[in-house]
Amino acid sequence: MITADIATVKPPHIRADLASAIERSWRRLSGPGTWWSGAQRLRIVAETRNAVHCPLCHERKAALSPNAVAGTHASLGTLPDVVVDVIHRVRTDANRLSEAWIERVLAAGLSDAEYVEIVGIVATATGLDTFSRALGTAPAALPAPRAGAPSRRRPRGARKSIARVPTVSPADMTDEDVNPYPQYGQVHIQQALSLVPEAVIEFFDLDTALYLKQDWIRDFTREYRSLTHAQLELIASRASVINGCYY
């Protein structure tokens, strides 16, 4: 929706590191990933945007249990039903996903790595669009897809341990793997998408510009943003409560 802000108010200046991270995000989203092509990844972004308007998702969100409401998602019709369901659930009701639901998704033909890449794309697109909404600017137009084939490389050290999907611990990374941990940190949240290491880089390259780098979060000797640690954590806490985030 176009608000009066978009039409009449000059958008604020975005610091250079964040503007660059946003540009890199769109370039990555439009190009081939590990399991999905650039065109497919942009369809996932478009469906992520569409999910917030889905009547079924609204009805499920309001229900005591999402499983109590049957129906069909209002989708753009460009992706298989199972992919649409993953996108809509992760975008609109992520804190009520269950192990059984993930198993059903995988049994329907999606691989665990394809699933993880979708989660990463939905999260990145959510970050980009939430930032635009917060500033009162229109969501960015989707770029043209870039050609190229997905790399289809699965890390050998992937195993199920800290999540419902396989992850790669820092110790299990090999020289052949793209290793995101030295740059972005290696606590659980950075390991979550590591079945697709490029997805970790894609998400945290943007996330650390939106918020803070991992080693800045608990460095209370200085401030890294115009808001203080306490102010940022207040926002983080309120957003996490609203989203029902246990992490």
Of the residues 38, 193, 197, 201, which one makes contact with other proteins according to CB under 8 A: 193
Tell the smallest beta-carbon distance from residue 97 to other proteins (Å).
6
Which uninterrupted H or E stretch holds 188? helix 188-191
Decide: is 221 part of the binding site for other proteins (CB under 8 A). Answer: no
Q: Point out which span in 32-40, 77-85, 138-146, 203-211 binds other proteins (CB under 8 A).
A: 203-211
Q: Which of 124, 150, 168, 180 binds other proteins (CB under 8 A)?
A: 124
Q: Which of 70, 99, 141, 144 binds other proteins (CB under 8 A)?
A: 99
164 binds other proteins (CB under 8 A): yes
# chain residues binding other proteins, by CB under 8 A: 68
Q: Is 163 in the site for other proteins (CB under 8 A)?
A: yes
Q: Which of 35, 131, 181, 184 binds other proteins (CB under 8 A)?
A: 131
In the complex with other proteins, which residue's Cβ is closer, 104 or 238? 238
Find the binder of other proteins among 16, 68, 134, 144 (CB under 8 A). 134
Q: Which of residues 31 and 211 has its CB atom nearest to other proteins in the complex?
A: 211
Name which position in 12, 141, 182, 222 contacts other proteins (CB under 8 A): 12
Is the separation of the CB atoms in 41 and 121 below 8 Å?
yes
Stretch that binds other proteins, among 38-46, 141-149, 169-177, 239-247 (CB under 8 A): 239-247
The partner residues of 167 in beta bridges, in order of sequence, read 159
Q: Which of 63, 76, 147, 227 binds other proteins (CB under 8 A)?
A: 227
Give the whole-angstrom CA distance, residue 30 versus residue 125. 11
Q: Looking only at residues 65 through 94 of this chain, which bind other proteins when binding is defined by CB under 8 A? A: 90-91, 94
Query: CA–CA separation, 117 vs 201, rounded Å?
Result: 12
Task: Check residue 128 for interaction with other proteins (CB under 8 A).
Answer: yes
First to last CA, the chain: 31
CB 95 within 8 A of CB 245: yes
Enumerate binding residues for other proteins (CB under 8 A).
1, 3-5, 9, 12-15, 18, 90-91, 94-95, 97, 99, 102, 116, 119-120, 122-124, 126-128, 130-131, 133-136, 162-165, 167, 187-189, 192-193, 203, 206-207, 209-211, 225-228, 230-232, 234-243, 245-247
